[in-house]
A = this chain, B = another copy of it.
Amino acid sequence: MNKFVWPVRVYHEDTDGGGVVYYANYLKFMERARTELLRFYGIEQTLLKQEYNIIFVVRQLTVEYLKPAFFNDLLNVVADTTKQGKVSLTMEHQILRDDEILCSGDVKIASINSITYRPQPLPATVINQMRTKCKS
């Protein structure tokens, strides 16, 4: 099965004085790919918030940094849903330059209410949208 891949170009904003991408900025790249994967599933976070007051927040994060990315690199960011519950999702990411994995990350995301910040189950229609796409 093919995995979802989102291309990301490295700009000056992403690098630090060490000449490489700043360690927190890889998390931005992973989140861009996650957002686009959700969009590919047919899930627009703007609508989730408007219609259900649901926002996603990160609960847990594990990242391995293997090799640095540099200014101007064209990276591929893989996003893959590995677990899918009613109030949480687990996603796996790899960030690649050509065939080389520079960075990998596991991210556990919770579905919460945007006002109370308490867990709120995803609507059944949204879960079904994800299941259908994940299997295909």
Contacts and interface: CB of A to CB of B under 8 A. Distances in A.
A55 interface: yes
- Number of this chain's copies in the complex: 4
Given A45-B72, A71-B45, A28 B17 contact: no
Nearest to A55: B18
Interface string A57-94: 11111111101101110000000000000000000000
- The size class of the interface chain A forms with chain B is 35 or more
A28 B57 contact: no
Contact of A62 (B55, B62, B72, B114): B62
Interface of A: 9, 11-13, 15-20, 22-25, 27-28, 31-32, 35, 44-46, 55, 57-65, 67-68, 70-72, 114, 117
